Amino acid sequence: MSLKKDEIIKWLKDESLEVYEAPVSQGAPVEWALNVVARTPYGLQLNIAVSKPKGKVERLVMNMVIKISDQHKGSIASIGERERMKAMAQLFNQLAALCPTCMTVIQPEQGNPSMPDVIAVTKVLYEDNATPSTVGDTIRTLVNAYFYVVNYLNTEIGGGSTSTTMVHM
């Protein structure tokens, strides 16, 4: 069995997701890429990238990147560096608990290692585990991770709303 783009698109559309083929640059390490849009009941649109790497064991990579808003950064900057690092460690631990098999990265601002800038959550599905159910579950997990990040920033840090911290591809 091989992970076929058309089959993955069908699975995603069966989950009521919007799916768009993403352009792949020449020399990029992926065979194909998709932009997946999940619309939430709250009117938010979350973007998730789905791609199939070149030259790897049959796998599907599903990735969401969250850009921390200036409002949240302002609140984060208002707490001490030690507390800031503790807060980001707590956020990381909670995201790891939400998805233990995801790769989660809290990327700091360049030149400011204690100020988070972007949070990336990535899940790799291998061919033997890639089913309509696991693909749909992974999308739901990534959506939940987004809401966890926003709720954590709003309740534990303050300074924003769900409309200020954004998901990017």
Side chain identity, residue 117: D
Domain CATH for 82: 3.30.1460.10
Compute the distance between CA of residue 124 and CA of residue 138 in angstroms, rounded to an integer.
Answer: 9
Residues 6+ apart with CB under 8 A from 5: 21, 32, 34, 52
pLDDT of residue 38: 92
Residues 6+ apart with CB under 8 A from 94: 148, 152
pLDDT of residue 163: 47
Side chain identity, residue 17: L
pLDDT of residue 164: 52
Closest CA to 130 of 59, 69, 75: 59
- Which residue range(s) make up the domain with 32? 5-168
Q: Which residue's structure tokens are 């300074």? A: 159
Compute the distance between CA of residue 50 and CA of residue 28 in angstroms, rounded to an integer.
Answer: 14
Long-range contact set of residues 6-11: C-beta below 8 Å, sequence gap at least 24: 8/34, 8/50, 8/52, 8/60, 8/130, 8/135, 9/34, 11/132, 11/135, 11/136
pLDDT classification of 41: cutoffs 50, 70, 90: confident
Q: What percent of the chain has pLDDT over 70?
A: 92
Q: What percent of the chain has pLDDT over 90?
A: 72
Q: Model confidence over 54-64: pLDDT tens digits?
A: 987 689 999 99
For the chain, how many structural domains are there in total? 1
pLDDT of residue 169: 44
pTM score? 0.88
Q: Model confidence over 102-160: pLDDT tens digits?
A: 999 999 999 988 899 999 999 999 988 889 999 999 999 999 999 999 999 998 887 65
Compute the distance between CA of residue 36 and CA of residue 19 in angstroms, rounded to an integer.
Answer: 5
20: phi > 0 → left, psi -120 to 50 → alpha, else beta; which? beta
Side chain identity, residue 157: I
